[in-house]
Amino acid sequence: EIPDRLKDIPTSANPRFFDMVEYFFHRACQVIEDKLVEDMKSRVSIEERKKKVAGILKLMQPCDHIIEIQFPLRRDSGDYEMILGYRAQHSSHRTPTKGG
């Protein structure tokens, strides 16, 4: 379920980066959760499979590391601009890490 504080993200004019990441994570969970339960090859009940999938998604949600970097860029016009970039890593217990 998408938290109430994130429900206006799709229509917001200038949402925060982290809020967008959280919103799209929750939205992806809504879209894929039933399919993950269905595709799980196990002899346990559907309720147990749902609990396992929900638990795995909860483990994936928090970021292990967030890196923010800024660097100057000189445009062809001669103007300078500061570029701001982010890298978030999830599930660093397995490599390669998930993130972007």
> pTM of the full predicted structure?
0.63
pLDDT tens digits for range 53-80? 999 888 888 877 888 899 999 999 999 9
Q: Does the residue 38 lie in any domain?
A: yes
Q: Does the residue 68 lie in any domain?
A: no
Q: What is the CATH number of the domain that holds 52?
A: 1.10.287.140
Q: Is the dihedral of CA 26, 29, 30, 31 positive or negative?
A: positive
Q: Does the residue 91 lie in any domain?
A: no
Q: Does the residue 73 lie in any domain?
A: no
**In the chain, where does DSSP find H-type helix?**
17-39, 46-60
Q: Does the residue 21 lie in any domain?
A: yes
Number of domains in the chain: 1
pLDDT tens digits for range 23-62? 998 999 999 999 999 998 888 899 999 999 999 888 888 8
- What's the domain range around 52? 4-60
Q: Does the residue 25 lie in any domain?
A: yes
Q: Does the residue 100 lie in any domain?
A: no
